[in-house]
Structure 1
Amino acid sequence: MTDKLLLLDGPEGLVHLLPFLFEYHPENSVVLAGITPAGEPLGFLRTDLPADPGLWPSLAEELLDAHRDEAASFGYPTHRLVAYICPDPDDPNYGPRSRLTHQPIADCFRDACRRQGLVLGEAVYVTRTHYWPMLTTAPSGGHPIPEPPAELDPTGLPRSSDVLKSLAPVTGAQAAAMAATLDSAVRTLHAEIRSDGHQSVVDNAMDLVATTVAELAAGARQAKETPDDLAARLLLALQYDDVRNTALVHCEDHELPAANELWLALAHRCPAAYADHAAVPLALHAFTAWALGDDARSRLALQAAEACMPDQDLTRILLGMFNDGAAFEHLRAHLREHRAAWGIPVAD
């Protein structure tokens, strides 16, 4: 989040604030934010916008429950709430028609706040060009999003839908070919386990990860040029916790760009039948993006990892660290200790 002091002034201020809560423009999202009497942001939560209207009442209740727990744990002062409904830009009815379709979400938040004794100051429907206050004004053509003040210019911030698309796996003929390669790699892996045992397979997988990162860091090839058979072996290897943990230690400055590209390339190679296998490389991509200073991409990669495999250990751990404000250098010091203990060399 930006370190600027943000003070809000009506619906336009709310719209200007939104991207700075996450350092990206949330889309296909519902956001609940607290606002102090002085107009300062105070705690915020984001979740996916469900396509099923039947889920909207429970969504409102769950976000309010989570916000109330957060407020209690941090001792937030008395405040009001604002709900943002940010539709999917790929919705064919995107704009005024989708705003009417989603009006019941605002009503769900209003009713849930009344039941819980909370104050909902506004619900704001936000597209890329317009916004609609959903509780205080009648449906209309919406208000154009005006030019923001200089300190709230979100021009350089990415849009979540664009980033999530860049994390999506291959489709079509590429996906079919990769699925066949993974099927073959699974059979080979099972044969190796029967022949040599799990520990031998894990040890070889650790060596494979270390060798691959070292080669990429040395410029032997681009990560996106990784052959399908090697990508398949790495994807299967990363499903082992020990291999996943050793993947994290490749976090020196000269390794991070290569590792970041490798984890993304592997996530791209997960067709639908192996979608859950993308959770670990996406979480590793989130870790390296964070290490490289790209907080927005890091959080969105964790969102994508969670969608592939809910409550996966690495995703949960990293999200907790990010939310607690952990420092990368502090974590890197611990990873270096583990790396030395595991005997994993640091290539120049």
Structure 2
Amino acid sequence: MTNHDETTGTPGNSDIPGRGESERTGLPPRARSAGRAGPAGFREDGRGHGREEAREGDRPPRPDGIGRTAYDSHDHAQQVTLRTPAELADALPYLLGYRPEDSIVLVALHDKEGRGRFGGRARLGIPATTDDWPTAARQLARGLVTGSERRGVRPEQMVVFLCREPGPGESGRQVKERLEPLARTLRLECGSLDIPVVEALCVSGGRFWSYCCDDEGCCPAEGTPLGLPGTSVLAAAATYAGIQVRGTLSELRARFLPWEYPAALEQEKALDAAGMALVPRILDAASRHEVAEETLSLAGRIMGRLAGAPPTSGMLPADLRDDDLLGRDEAATLILGLQDRTTRDRAAEWMEGAEAEAALRLWRALARRCVGSYGEHAAAPLTLAGWVAWSTGDELEAREALAMALGADPDYLFARLLHQACNEGLDPESVRRCLRTEREDRGPTTPDEPS
């Protein structure tokens, strides 16, 4: 599902429409060559989707209004009940695993003994123009419902969140009023699917407002302050259960964005030189295998270098450390070498255990080196990063990396297949099994390639 005002769609648990049937190699246009779409192994074995958080206490919900409805969210034995709009607003980052910015979020509810139990959820950036709001609302609502039905559970109710920070000179209340037509459109769209919206909240400037409740006692006109992060009952339960909230999507995407400081010029020169040397060899059947072995051997050495580096806390310091461990010429050689699909598929075999952590760090670092005119080349390392993240259980980073890969090259079929499979809640083990078999059938690896 693409967004009208973003180059990369970033749905949560939503369906992804087709983006075309061909995948390009990522080589410069004059140097395209045929290749495989990616490893096989996708199967629709339909795991359930969406984390369901927790419940505590057992008071029955009061019947008179959304502010008094209980929402069950469970994680095995740990359970918490959300009874008010304030608790629902505080829960949003834990439902998604991050703090959404400039977002429409839909959360499906399933009835269980009179309680709304959280199901799938989907996110889309708020379109820049109001003319696009009806289309966005239709895409998001129908995508979430279709995906839920495919997994055998149709939502019975829906909760809507609109998240946008105030602009210069603007108040949160003004944001709430400006987005009210969007909230109404979403409610009508869900209603047309016979799924009522039982609560719609605007979150802005550290406060929230309800579009469904006009009771000044619980939803005052000036808004209600959000609780301090990490202080709610749900926050405590989520921490106990190991659920992580990792800042914002912007902070996560920054790990994959190309350099924009002076060093990018030198990196682009290194990419130009590597392209002159490697592209003819990749397109030559006699030397293509030799380039693949050189690429994988170099990647293996750098992964060992990364794995041996002292640990660093924080995403930005860790990424800066990894950047310092990767030379310009090394990065250029790997980026060009990974444009060959067979080489990329072999690199995808570093997907579990200690190999996976080092590989993910390398793919992030290579994506950051796809600077200037080489933006399309980022599709390969971004897809590999998304695959490793999904394989190791980090669906949030996987979806973002794969969406960014499709932003770099909308026709990159391996990224599209992985993105759709991840969003549909399929089990990555089927792909891992296929890659393990290919690795075993091939026999011993190159001397510097991790085994």
Q: Which residue number corresponds to residue 262 of structure 2?
A: 173
**What's the offset of the Cα at 1:287?**
2.3
SS in 2 for 1:18: helix
Alpha-carbon distance between aligned partners in 1 of 2:196 and 2:430, rounded to the nearest angstrom:
40
**What's the offset of the Cα at 1:269?**
0.6
Matches for 1:264-303 after TM superposition, within 5 Å = 264-303=364-403
For 1:151, give the aligned amino acid: A
For 1:158, give the aligned amino acid: R
Aligned residue-pair number: 344
Kindly report the root-mean-square deviation, in angstroms, between the aligned alpha carbons of the 2 structures: 3.1
SS in 1 for 2:195: coil
Aligned 8 A contact 1:18 1:25 in 2: yes
Alpha-carbon distance between aligned partners in 2 of 1:181 and 1:80, rounded to the nearest angstrom:
54
For 1:274, give the aligned amino acid: Y
SS in 2 for 1:254: helix
Q: Which residue number corresponds to residue 130 of structure 1?
A: 207
Which structure has more helix as a fraction of its residues? 1
Matches for 1:34-113 after TM superposition, within 5 Å = 34-37=108-111, 38-77=115-154, 79-87=156-164, 92=168, 95-113=172-190
Out of 98-107 and 206-215, give the one that drifted further: 98-107
**What's the offset of the Cα at 1:248?**
0.5
Alpha-carbon distance between aligned partners in 1 of 2:208 and 2:432, rounded to the nearest angstrom:
42
Aligned 8 A contact 2:256 2:368 in 1: yes
Q: Which residue number corresponds to residue 218 of structure 1?
A: 304
Alpha-carbon distance between aligned partners in 2 of 1:201 and 1:29, rounded to the nearest angstrom:
48
Alpha-carbon distance between aligned partners in 2 of 1:240 and 1:94, rounded to the nearest angstrom:
51
SS in 1 for 2:254: helix
For 1:68, give the aligned amino acid: V
For 2:300, give the aligned amino acid: A
Q: Which residue number corresponds to residue 18 of structure 2?
A: none
SS in 1 for 2:122: strand
**What's the offset of the Cα at 1:54?**
2.6
Q: Which residue number corresponds to residue 163 of structure 1?
A: 252
SS in 2 for 1:172: coil
Q: Which residue number corresponds to residue 196 of structure 2?
A: 119
For 1:143, give the aligned amino acid: T
Alpha-carbon distance between aligned partners in 2 of 1:347 and 1:155, rounded to the nearest angstrom:
31
Q: Which runs of 5+ in 2 are unaligned?
A: 1-49, 55-72, 74-80, 310-321
**What's the offset of the Cα at 1:32?**
1.3
Alpha-carbon distance between aligned partners in 2 of 1:214 and 1:44, rounded to the nearest angstrom:
38
Deviations 1:226-256 (A, max 9, x none): 2222212221222222121111012352322
TM-score normalised by structure 1 residue count = 0.84
TM-score normalised by structure 2 residue count = 0.67
Alpha-carbon distance between aligned partners in 2 of 1:297 and 1:78, rounded to the nearest angstrom:
26
Deviations 1:253-284 (A, max 9, x none): 23222211110110001124222221221221
Between the two proteins, what is the percent identity of the paired residues? 27
SS in 1 for 2:150: helix
Q: Which runs of 5+ in 1 are unaligned?
A: none
For 1:177, give the aligned amino acid: E
SS in 1 for 2:116: coil
Distance 1:35 1:8, change over 3 A: farther
Aligned 8 A contact 1:213 1:250 in 2: no
Matches for 1:222-241 after TM superposition, within 5 Å = 223-224=322-323, 225-241=325-341
Aligned 8 A contact 2:201 2:208 in 1: yes
Aligned 8 A contact 1:209 1:234 in 2: yes
Structure with more contact order per residue of length (Cα contacts < 8 Å, sep ≥ 6): 2
For 2:289, give the aligned amino acid: D
Out of 129-138 and 167-176, give the one that drifted further: 129-138
Alpha-carbon distance between aligned partners in 1 of 2:297 and 2:179, rounded to the nearest angstrom:
50
Match of 2:225 among 144, 161, 171: 144
Aligned 8 A contact 2:51 2:119 in 1: no
Out of 278-287 and 288-297, give the one that drifted further: 288-297
